[in-house]
Amino acid sequence: MAIRIIREEGDEILRKKSKEVDEVNDKIREILDDMVETMHHYNGVGLSAPQIGLLKRLVVIDLYDDKGPIKLVNPKILKQEGEQEVEEGCLSFPNEFAKIIRPAKVTIEALDENGKKIKIKADKLLAQAIAHEVDHLDGILFVDKIIPGTLQYIEPEENS
């Protein structure tokens, strides 16, 4: 496994639409593992493949609960319900946070890391994270959805 470089604001790959994965194989599993390691290294809740420079429909999410990381291949949102106003940030926009409107609930279909079709019904933080990461796969960024006047920049702490 390896920690990958995260593409940041201004990198044109973040605005491109990702391609579907044809086959879930060892190379895809290795990318997913690298994505989990990278996400954990940067204390993220989610990470999409475009954020590490790959235009593939791959997403990892970890709510740091007893379920562990979720690895999704070709996720599709089938249904969205309600709205929630959430505070959101993004590993590609370090130290920037804003309020966003996200669906309160989502139902998705995807393949897991073994190529098996799965369906997930999610609410609250998991619904937010899924919506955020699936947006990345379509070149949509959280800054496109900011509630006006809510963007904040938090100064990084100095490492001492």
**Does the annotation count 133 as an active-site position?**
yes
Q: Which residue is catalytic, options 37, 83, 133, 157?
A: 133
The neighbouring-strand residues paired with 100 are: 86, 146
Give yes or no for a contact between 141 and 14, defined as CB atoms under 8 angstroms apart: yes
The number of beta carbons lying within 10 Å of the beta carbon of residue 121 is 13
Least Cα distance to 111 among 23, 4, 48 occurs for 23
The Cα–Cα gap between 122 and 107 comes to 6
Tokens of 100: 């966003």
The Cα–Cα gap between 109 and 78 comes to 7
Reported residue count of the chain is 160
Q: Which residues are known to be catalytic?
A: 133
